[in-house]
Chain A
Amino acid sequence: GAVVSQHPSRVICKSGTSVKIECRSLDFQATTMFWYRQFPKQSLMLMATSNEGSKATYEQGVEKDKFLINHASLTLSTLTVTSAHPEDSSFYICSARDRLWEETQYFGPGTRLLVL
Chain B
Amino acid sequence: AQTVTQSQPEMSVQEAETVTLSCTYDTSENNYYLFWYKQPPSRQMILVIRQEAYKQQNATENRFSVNFQKAAKSFSLKISDSQLGDTAMYFCAFIVSRGDDKIIFGKGTRLHILP
Chain A residues within CB distance 8 Å of chain B:
34, 38, 41-44, 46, 49, 91, 93, 95, 102-107, 109-110
CA gap between A110 and B44 in the complex, in Å? 7
Interface status of B95 (Cβ within 8 A of chain A): yes
Asked whether, in the complex, the Cβ of B47 is within 8 Å of the Cβ of A110, the reply is no
From known contacts A103-B95, A103-B99, A104-B33, infer whether A42 and B107 are also in contact, taking CB-CB under 8 Å. Answer: yes
CA gap between A49 and B103 in the complex, in Å? 11
- Contacting residue for B43 out of A103, A104, A110, CB 8 A: A110
Determine how close the nearest CB of chain B comes to the CB of A106; give it in whole angstroms: 7
CA gap between A101 and B108 in the complex, in Å? 24
CA gap between A109 and B110 in the complex, in Å? 19
- The contact string, 1 if C-beta is below 8 Å from chain A, for chain B 89-104, is 0010001010100110
Asked whether, in the complex, the Cβ of B35 is within 8 Å of the Cβ of A43, the reply is no
Asked whether, in the complex, the Cβ of A102 is within 8 Å of the Cβ of B99, the reply is yes
Given contacts A91-B43, A103-B97, A107-B46, 14 further A-B contacts (CB under 8 A): A43-B91, A43-B107, A49-B102, A95-B45, A102-B99, A103-B95, A104-B35, A104-B47, A107-B37, A107-B44, A107-B45, A109-B42, A109-B43, A110-B44
- The contact string, 1 if C-beta is below 8 Å from chain A, for chain B 41-76, is 011111100100000000000000000000000000
Asked whether, in the complex, the Cβ of B105 is within 8 Å of the Cβ of A43, the reply is yes
CA gap between A91 and B44 in the complex, in Å? 11
Nearest to B35 among chain A residues (CB) is A104
7 pairs of A and B residues whose beta carbons are closest in the complex: A107-B45, A103-B33, A109-B44, A43-B105, A102-B99, A43-B107, A110-B43
Asked whether, in the complex, the Cβ of B108 is within 8 Å of the Cβ of A105, the reply is no
CA gap between A104 and B36 in the complex, in Å? 11
Determine how close the nearest CB of chain B comes to the CB of A38; give it in whole angstroms: 8
Contacts of A41 in B (CB 8 A): 110
